[in-house]
Amino acid sequence: MDSNVSVSKFFSINELKNAVVVDSEGFIYGKVMEYYLTDGKLFLKAYIEIKAKEKIVNVDRIISELEEKGVNIPSDAPLELIVTRAKEEGLDIYYKLAEKPYTLLKGLLPIDEIRWIDSTTLEKEIEEKITSLGGTMKGSITKDTDYLICDDQSGVKYEKAIKLDISVFTYGEYIKVI
């Protein structure tokens, strides 16, 4: 990909990488991975990031039980050696759930279906709309806050909003409301 190519008069390709893509309906589609130019039409390749729980060997517990039996395992020992030694000692193999991040291709999105290129532009448009309706946007959550607009439903602000019974909207949901 040529970093000197400009998608529009406002953004370079490097500025678009990992930018949030909001489609013409106000839905957050994903983030920009790269672009494709096909038959004179520009498409953005979008992806989403998810976290999935995966069952993995509980190495710490197995090593602890091996040490209780007097078996020394080097700190850089491969998993196969640890499991083999545990089986030789008659120990159970314990598992735990661990979060693993995945990047999934969401699809190719024609550039003419994109309403916003990044979250900064989206936030500015939302702030202008809220202000025009007599509201204000603030960076903190208080008991006087009416709504929280965010796409990450985790973190301190989200938890505080839930605790204070404040309505939470994604950017796409909020655009449809206003």
What is the predicted pLDDT for the residue at 127?
Answer: 77
Map tokens 């916003």 to a residue: 116
What is the predicted pLDDT for the residue at 168?
Answer: 85
Q: What domains are defined for the chain?
A: 13-58+99-117 (no CATH), 59-93 (no CATH), 118-178 (3.40.50.10190)
What is the predicted pLDDT for the residue at 104?
Answer: 92
Confidence of residue 5 (pLDDT cuts 50, 70, 90): very low
Distances (CA, A) of 29 to 51, 68, 95, 98, 155: 17, 51, 35, 27, 22
